[in-house]
Structure 1
Amino acid sequence: MNAEIMAVGTELLLGDIVNTNAQYLAKELALLGIGIYRQTTVGDNEERLKKALSEALKESEIIITTGGLGPTPDDITKEVSGMVLGKELILHEPSYEVILSYFKHNDRAMANGNQKQAMFPEGSIVLDNPNGTAPGCIIPGENNRFIINLPGPPKEMIPMFENKVKPFLMQFMDHTIISKTLRCIGLGEWDMATRVKDLLDESKNPTVAPYAKDGEAILRITAKAATEAEARAMIAPVEEEIRNRIGEYIYGTDEDTLQDVIGRELVEHDRSIAIAESVTGGMIASRLLGYEGGMSKVLAETFVTYSNESKVKYLGVKEETLKSHGAVSEETCREMAEGLHERTGAEICLVTTGIAGPTGGTEEKPVGLVYIGLGVKGQVEVHKRYFTGGREKIRVRATIASLDILRRKLNELAKG
């Protein structure tokens, strides 16, 4: 079985957007044993898209498109896909109801074309989209051929492929493919890959593949077998071996997020936490608030104490300390954490101070220097870190490092 991956959008042709969707889909289809006949990029032009789809159907059984499912006139992927397969567009009532609900306070959006997103070629398998307003669809054609329309934004496309398209494609396979993702923090992709180098053999089954994403390092173990149970049994010893080597860096699996792992630990053990941020400017609190399991029960207070004055006013940092050692110092960081505990009474207190740049660095205290303070019942430890990159990258890396330090401490506390 062959597939063609077709990205639709003039912005892709002009280089305004990098096509990461094609890379993701190519890897996923290869894992399923589906050959990639061709990758194509087509602009928002009806005749060109029609020609591209018609040619693709001659060579491949599966054509997966990304993009062009929005409400504007130049979003024409579904319309042209239906035209090529000789199918009229009809209203899909369940999708229409979802869109109506989504825009119930925005009549203008509905009047300007959002109802268009509920129209699908006749006979389509509609793929709901909990991450956006544009559902996808699988359109059957003649000779067991299919055009699969997926949304363009990766945050919408990837879950739709994983949860809807992959199970659909599996029916054509004579085997089962199961993957398990190990999520690591505090370990770079190269360092991680070096430690498990002998396992990274694409000819093996299961395969182990490293990825880097948003400051994390990821290992995906993928097994091919006749049944799901057999595949999972093959994954288990490989996972155990990886954990023996880098277990301290693994914070979760599959869909886990760092904030979810930390949030669960805080809530389950009823540990109150307070946060005071200088260099990270609220990023840590924002990440933790992403946990939906009851952060309001444990998050006592948060402060953004960017200026020296705010460190003195809200955290009780001594002016003499700031004058003698500076805002970015172990001494100031320690007093921030101690003061935060005194003022909030939180069991756990997490603070940051540093230099994100691009100015403000010196030879003694360069841009990228960050101090992270973590207190437990008033007992404070200070971690000194150096991060590279631009201002935003330094702040993000400092946030991730702070959360990792917190995660490790919570693990220690859980073990007693």
Structure 2
Amino acid sequence: MITELISVGTEILLGNIVNTNSAYLSEKCALLGLSVYYQDVVGDNEGRMRDVIRTALDRSDVVILTGGLGPTEDDITKEVTADLMGMPLKEDSHSRKLIDKYLKEYEKNNSQRRITKNNYKQAMVPEGAIVLDNHNGTAPGLILEKKGKTAILLPGPPNELKPMFEEYVVPYLQKNQPEIIVSQMVKISGIGESQVAEEIQDLIESQTNPTIAPYAKTGEVHLRVTASAENEKACRKLIKPVVKELKKRFGENVFATDESKTLEEAVIDLLKEKDLKLSLAESLTGGMIAQRIVNVSGASEVFGYGFVTYSNKAKHKCLGVKKRTLKEQGAVSAKCAREMAKGACKASGADISISVTGLAGPGGGTKETPVGTVFIGCCYKGKAIAKEFHFTGNRMRIREQTTAHALAMLRDCIIMGR
């Protein structure tokens, strides 16, 4: 089915808010096998909104609209869509009761709040529409069907839209699809997007069903394997040999085949499996690696120490980096990275440590050591190594790339035992 997304709101056009809803819905629609051919953003203007929705209904089978379902005068998505589809509005008693209950709880939490009559505008629904209860707000969602066309109206706030879409819209769309779509992610670290693309070029050129779609992420490459079939079991059967082939080609660089699993989770799992204690020594990243590590539940079982040694004095005092190294080689050097990693292990008693030092810019670079030069060190059971990297982008981008590559290098060192 040809599907179109329309985001309603002048605040989106002005850049006051980031339109994350379209990205979410596009991905979900793709997984459901829907063909999203168009995306539109329109402000809270009746004439322009009418033109956009009319065009969408003419050229698409399913139109998903987000925003403009609230109680204020400029919330007119429902009114315009219902009028275009010839479905007059009437009050839905069930929706009014839910709105009333929600507002009374809202009022109870703050004595200065009061319920205003315009809230009940949200209980007016197109006659014959499927009403979707909103468990996280006041505006119900709606599904309007007329002459082979479907308009799905969802509230704008993501914390209302997402659960409503998952609970009601996904089953509705699946019911109207002859086939289902199932995907599995293969996550790779330690090698770049261009190398991954080259390695799977033959698979991409010959693919029919399933298909492989690469996605580049900072320090990682994700390959989404997607199959369509009459049921999930048949989809999984098609996906299995492709995932097996990808794991064969990329070996230890594959750190997950579960979409929800992160690189830091894979690292923590390895540390636990091998009963290793981790410490970190960070300079330019200033704790960003530690932040990703402690985002993982249970990280405290393997991670005990993190050193942020930004100055040369701190590197010497806390990690034992030699003054001679700092003077002759400089803080941004392989030798400094190795000594930082060794010092972190010694100071913490850890089995393995990762260190990072480099130039994130925008100033401070030289012809010999330009901005983006980074050294990542690893000490594993007394043996220290360091690798040189050259990243591009602004200060934050360089720090993010350093963090991602440090985690990948940590995983590699654990696996290789070095």
TM-score bucket of the superposed structures, by smaller chain: 0.7 to 0.9
Give the AA of the match of 1:389. Answer: G
Q: How does 1:185-204 map to 2 (within 5 A)?
A: 185-201=189-205, 204=208
The DSSP-based 3-state class of the residue aligned with 2:243 is: helix
Tell whether the 8 Å contact from 2:188 to 2:254 is kept in structure 1 after alignment.
Answer: yes
Tell whether the 8 Å contact from 1:372 to 1:384 is kept in structure 2 after alignment.
Answer: yes
Tell whether the 8 Å contact from 2:179 to 2:230 is kept in structure 1 after alignment.
Answer: yes
Aligned to 1:294: 298
Tell whether the 8 Å contact from 2:33 to 2:180 is kept in structure 1 after alignment.
Answer: no
Aligned to 1:265: 270
Q: How does 1:172-251 map to 2 (within 5 A)?
A: 172-201=176-205, 204-251=208-255
Task: Specify whether residues 169 and 13 from structure 1 end up closer, same or farther in structure 2 by C-alpha distance, changes over 3 A only.
Answer: same
Q: Which of 318, 334, 339 in structure 2 is aligned with 1:314?
A: 318
Give the AA of the match of 1:305. Answer: T
The DSSP-based 3-state class of the residue aligned with 1:288 is: helix
Task: Specify whether residues 330 and 213 from structure 1 end up closer, same or farther in structure 2 by C-alpha distance, changes over 3 A only.
Answer: closer
Q: Which of 394, 397, 411 in structure 1 is aligned with 2:398?
A: 394
Aligned to 1:65: 65
Shift of 1:318: 2.2
Tell whether the 8 Å contact from 1:267 to 1:294 is kept in structure 2 after alignment.
Answer: no
Q: Does 1:385 align with 2:392?
A: no
Aligned to 2:5: 5
Task: Specify whether residues 367 and 219 from structure 1 end up closer, same or farther in structure 2 by C-alpha distance, changes over 3 A only.
Answer: same
Tell whether the 8 Å contact from 2:307 to 2:344 is kept in structure 1 after alignment.
Answer: no
- Residues 319-371 of structure 1 deviation map (CA, whole Å, 9 limit, x = unaligned): 22211211111221122112212211122211111111122122222221111
Aligned to 2:289: 284
Q: Which of 347, 351, 360 in structure 1 is aligned with 2:355?
A: 351
Tell whether the 8 Å contact from 2:359 to 2:365 is kept in structure 1 after alignment.
Answer: yes
Aligned to 2:132: 125
Q: Which of 366, 371, 374 in structure 1 is aligned with 2:375?
A: 371
The DSSP-based 3-state class of the residue aligned with 1:173 is: coil
Tell me the distance in 2 between the aligned counterparts of 1:12 and 1:375: 48
Return 5+ residue gaps in structure 1 as ranges: none
More displaced 10-residue stretch of structure 1: 33-42 or 338-347:
33-42
Aligned to 1:330: 334
Task: Specify whether residues 398 and 30 from structure 1 end up closer, same or farther in structure 2 by C-alpha distance, changes over 3 A only.
Answer: closer
Shift of 1:274: 1.4
Give the AA of the match of 1:139. Answer: I
TM-score normalised by L of structure 1: 0.81
The DSSP-based 3-state class of the residue aligned with 1:367 is: coil
Give the AA of the match of 1:137. Answer: G
Shift of 1:386: 1.6
Q: What RMSD over aligned residues (CA atoms) do the two structures have, in Å?
A: 4.0
Aligned to 1:405: 409
Aligned to 2:308: 304
Aligned to 1:42: 42
- Residues 53-81 of structure 1 deviation map (CA, whole Å, 9 limit, x = unaligned): 35544554421124457898756546765
Tell me the distance in 1 between the aligned counterparts of 2:103 and 2:190: 41
Give the AA of the match of 2:329. Answer: H
The count of corresponding residues between Structure 1 and Structure 2 is 407
Give the AA of the match of 2:364. Answer: G
Aligned to 1:148: 152
Task: Specify whether residues 370 and 33 from structure 1 end up closer, same or farther in structure 2 by C-alpha distance, changes over 3 A only.
Answer: closer
Tell me the distance in 2 between the aligned counterparts of 1:374 and 1:117: 62
Report percent identity of matched pairs. Answer: 42
Which one has the largest radius of gyration?
A: 2
The DSSP-based 3-state class of the residue aligned with 1:332 is: helix
Tell me the distance in 2 between the aligned counterparts of 1:51 and 1:337: 62
Tell me the distance in 2 between the aligned counterparts of 1:111 and 1:302: 50
Give the AA of the match of 1:273. Answer: L
TM-score normalised by L of structure 2: 0.81
More displaced 10-residue stretch of structure 1: 223-232 or 260-269:
260-269
Task: Specify whether residues 203 and 252 from structure 1 end up closer, same or farther in structure 2 by C-alpha distance, changes over 3 A only.
Answer: closer
Give the AA of the match of 2:132. Answer: I
